[in-house]
Each structure stands twice: as structure tokens, then as C-alpha cells.
Chain A
Amino acid sequence: MTLVTPTVLKIAKPCHLPLALCHVEAGFPSPADDYMEGALDLNEHVIKHPSATYFVRASGDSMIGAGIFNGDLLIVDRSLEASSGKVVIAEVDGQLTVKRLLKLNDGFSLQSENSSYPPIELQEGNEVVVWGVVTHVIHDLL
């Protein structure tokens, strides 16, 4: 039998931000009050499978083309199937590395997104162990 991966789960630490913000005008009730819809939870947006989701820190500049910079926070979901084109955390020589997974005719390649880094090609027979699929990058602008 096949199992369906549950998609909606409670997040351990919700962070509630009000959806509609209005200034309080003295004397007049806000016309938006009747339309308040509760709160948006950023965790809910970026974490679909809490027990399978890990936060990982990117180091170096090999993935700047994919918008991943040194020190960025990566949201990694281990429950997703890795497929060609996805940015993944993969195991190479006992180290974990972030690269884009590409299907080649005769195997797989782990591509950097920076021309100064050559791709890591994995021929048939050489198995590539994917640790997880990167779903989001959190980049500080300050």
C-alpha cells in the first residue's frame, strides 16, 4: 500500500503576526475589524513537514547563482524526493554539501552555481546520497 505524506502539521513554536494592521483612530472603530482573519504563521509557510525539516547554514560562495550566499539559512526538507533540477544537500566524500542535482545521460551531477567551481560528476555505480531537499533560503538584508 502507498502512504500519503501528511501535509498539514502543527508547528512547535508558532509566531503570530496580525494579518490586518490598522491604526487606532480615536473615536471611530476600524472598518476592518470585522474582517480580521487571524494570523499568518511564517513557519507554516516554509515548513511543511516539521519532523523532517532541518535548518542548515550555508558556507562559501559556490551557490551564489541560486541565491545562496555565505551565512544564509537553508530550510531543508528530508521528506521530499530529490529530482533533477532541485537544490539538495548531498553527501560527497563524507561531507555534506549544497548543490543543484542534475540528471545526466549516464548518472548524476552536482552543479555549483558559480563558474569558478567545477561540477561533481557521479557516474553510474557511484551512488549519490541526498540528505535533503532545500526548499527555502533565508538571507539577511541587514
Chain B
Amino acid sequence: MKIFALVDCNNFYASCERVFDPSLKERAIVILSNNDGCIVARSNEAKSLGIPMGIPVFKQKAVIKKHNVAVFSSNYQLYGDMSKRVMDSLGLFTPDMEVYSIDEAFLRLDYLQPRNLYEYCKTIREKVLQWTGIPVSIGIGPTKVLAKIANHVAKKQTDVGVFDIRCQQKQDNILKPLDVDKIWGIARGWSERLNSMGIYKASELRDASPPIIRKHLSVVGERILRELKGQSCIDLEAIQPKKNIMSSKSFGKPLTKKEPIEEALSNYAACACEKLRKQNSRAQAVHVFVQTNGFRETERQYNNAITHTLTIPTSDTRIIIEAAKFCLSMIYKHGYRYKKTGIMLLDLIPASLKQKQLFVNFDHNPGDDLMNIVDRVNKEQGPNTLFFGAQGVNREWKMRCGLRSPRYTTQWDELLMVR
């Protein structure tokens, strides 16, 4: 039998902040989205105060003030580094692991055959907490779907933090009261469809007829049903290179002139290209969009987008920036207050794949060498050590992140200070 464990970091962003500032231990914490707009993460204390997820922070001003809630801008450098530390630590316990998101990983533990799996997972949890300072919860099950459900239970038992759902009796007890929309993989539309079929609870879905579920929810739905029964259908997945790469952010303030928008776009393009090269791909097309602020109903609105095909698949930042600027010039209109722009690199192919062109020879692309150097310098000396002229110097469009904590683990001049 297969054994899966889902390891999920508890309130990951808030926990990262707490590692480096113990005075936050019992304080409610909220973390804001890019540009300090909405609440995207909360500590348990903030959840208990009734602060909802995803709402604009200004709507919660009173609660935040009254309960002395700590408010932070997203510190993705810190969260990314802490995530890597957690995942590296987990990787020491099993070679079979799928990093599912920034704060979740599936582990296969059946190859290991530890005598006492429950104790083993408690050790994993203790070690990750000691090494990284991040508390995690672990759900153990015979399938990924059940491991995910077990994790929900583990989360509620904060003292132990590990729950094993492999025994049939436990599965019955937990699946019976569990709403179908709480099951991993059940989309909102699906739970409504299931409800209309008289299926409300996880146990009812488990005991439904597979062919009927397949008819209504496709083979994906049937797979979830079988996983609920304990038949493993979804294995660990290897990380696939992305098919599209997107880079986009809101501006710190509305922009009207073309130049600063172009500058911001060039930065997003450079960032997307870096990711593109990291996964060893080339893009065949570029998609650019601009948006005004839809929330400001009194202002004139304009949204537009354009896709531009590249003659030769490329990962050269210079070419992509040129293409992006060309796209922007096609869709930019004077007289609007723009809120956001972004770029998407499309139709990605492996860099090794080279299609012969009649008029262009690109067996050796001289741009590759230059980009290699740029990437290497920026990796060794810090991001943006080398950048392209189009990215600008002043960057007045930059996002607000006024409440960001120090980047404790990735910047020499922002290290934790101890007396």
C-alpha cells in the first residue's frame, strides 16, 4: 500500500515573520498583497478576530487598531528562502517528495517502512520546527486526497500536529461530517453539481457509483472518489517546466505617461526572461496588457492587450523588452490613469529545440552568452546588479511595500540584529 504524507506549514507567512521577531508570538498578524492592498495571509489570532481573507486592508482599520494587529507587506524574499529551508529539511527524510506549493509538500513514506510512521512524522515535525522555526502539520493517508483531509484534522490538533487517517474507522468518522467542497480537487461548480445530485458529504461521494460520478464530473471526479475510498490514483508529480510565464504588478500610484509604464513593463519583462532562462526555455510569443483601476468607478476605464509573435524563439531579454515596448505602443492610449501592466511569455519550448529557419542561422545564439553572464552576475552579486537601460533608474512606479520586515536571510545589510 502507498503511504502519503501532506506536510503543510501553519500560517506560513505569519510564521516566517515570527521566526525573526519573537515579540510577535501571540500577536495577531496580517500580511498584505503586493502593493499593500489586500490581506492575503493571517495568523490564527487574526482569524479569530474575524478578519477575513482577501479584503482591502483599509476596511479592517478599526479592528487592526483596536487589537494591535501587526501588519506586514509581503516579504517574498524571506518567504521564498524559508520555504526552501523547509523543503530541504523535508527532503532529508524521504527521497520521494513533491513540492506542491510554497508551503506544502507531499511525501511518499511507504518505501521507508519505518516501524512507527506516526512517531516518524512527529519527529519530522519537531526537526523542521527546530531547524527552521516554522511549525508544520502533517496528514498521513493511503492517498493524496485522504492525506490532505488528514492534514485538516492535524491542523486542529495544534499540540500534536500529526494525524494518521489510514484506519477505516477514522475515515468513516471524518468523511461523514465533511462537506464535499472541502475535498481537495473539488471545484466550486462541482460541489454545486454534487449537491444537486443529493451528495453533500465526503462519505456520500465516496460511496457513490463511480460511473455516475464519471459521467457528471469526468474522470477527474471519479479519481477523487476512488482516492476517498483509499485507492491511490494520483501519484507524486515531478515538477514540469511552465508552459507560460507571467510577470505583472500594480503600480505604486496611477500612471498616465507612457514612459514610466514602459519602464515598469521592461522590468517585468526582464524578470520573466530570467525565469524563462532558469527553466531552460525560449518563448515564441509575447502578450502585453494594460489596465486602469476598475475599482475607481468615477474614472474613465480602459483595458487592452495584444499578442506579438516572435520570429525566432528567444530568451534574450533585449529582444523581449523590444517586443514588449512595441506591444505597449500599440495599445497605450493617452489620457487614462493606468493601474497595472504585465507581460506573459507564451508558447514556451525547450531551449535545446531548434527549428531550422530559411533565412536566419541561429545554431549559436550570441545573445545566450550575454544572458548567461547577466544571470551569473545577478546571482552572485545580488538581483539587479546588471540591468537593462529600459528598466530605468528612478522607478517611480514601484510597488508600495512600506511595511515589509527586513529580508533577514537574503540581504547582508538586513540581517537579524542581536544584542
- The chain A residues found within 8 Å of chain B, CB to CB, are 1, 3, 6, 13, 49-52, 54-60, 62, 73-74, 78-79, 89, 91, 94-98, 129, 131
Contacts and interface: CB of A to CB of B under 8 A. Distances in A.
Given A3-B123, A79-B130, A56 B89 contact: no
Given A1-B120, A6-B92, A91-B22, A79 B419 contact: no
B418 A52 contact: no
Contacts of A3: 93, 123, 127
A131 B93 CA distance: 23
Given A51-B88, A94-B25, A57 B418 contact: yes
B132 A78 contact: yes
Contacts of B130: 52, 78-79
Interface string B15-27: 0000011110100
B210 interface: no
B116 interface: yes
A51 B132 CA distance: 7
Contacts, number: 74
A56 B131 contact: no
Nearest to A15: B380
A95 B23 contact: yes
Given A51-B131, A79-B127, 16 more contacts: A3-B123, A49-B131, A54-B408, A54-B416, A55-B415, A56-B416, A57-B417, A59-B417, A59-B419, A78-B133, A79-B131, A95-B419, A96-B20, A96-B418, A98-B418, A129-B22
A56 B123 CA distance: 27
Interface in B153-171: none
A43 B35 CA distance: 36
Contact of B418 (A1, A49, A78, A89): A89
Interface in B100-130: 114-116, 119-120, 123, 127, 130
Interface of B: 20-23, 25, 84-86, 88-89, 92-93, 114-116, 119-120, 123, 127, 130-133, 380, 408-409, 415-419
Contacts of B417: 56-59
B215 to A, nearest CB: 47
A102 B380 CA distance: 40
Contact of A98 (B89, B408, B419): B419
Contacts of B415: 55-57, 73
A34 B20 CA distance: 48
Task: State the 4 A-B residue pairs at the shortest beta-carbon distance, nearest first.
Answer: A94-B23, A52-B131, A51-B88, A51-B85
A56 B131 CA distance: 15
B418 A58 contact: yes
Contact of A1 (B89, B115, B133, B380): B115
A62 B419 contact: yes
B278 to A, nearest CB: 15
Contacts of A131: 22, 133
Nearest to B23: A94
Contacts of B119: 1
Nearest to A134: B418
Contact of A59 (B85, B409, B418): B418
A18 B136 CA distance: 42
A1 B114 CA distance: 8
A75 B385 CA distance: 26
B22 A94 contact: yes
Nearest to B408: A54
A54 B418 contact: no
Contacts of B123: 1, 3
Contacts of A58: 417-418
Given A54-B409, A95-B22, A95-B23, A74 B418 contact: yes
A89 B20 CA distance: 11
Nearest to B131: A52
Contacts of A52: 85, 89, 130-132
A142 B417 CA distance: 21
A52 B89 CA distance: 8
A78 B131 contact: yes
Nearest to B86: A51
B224 to A, nearest CB: 34
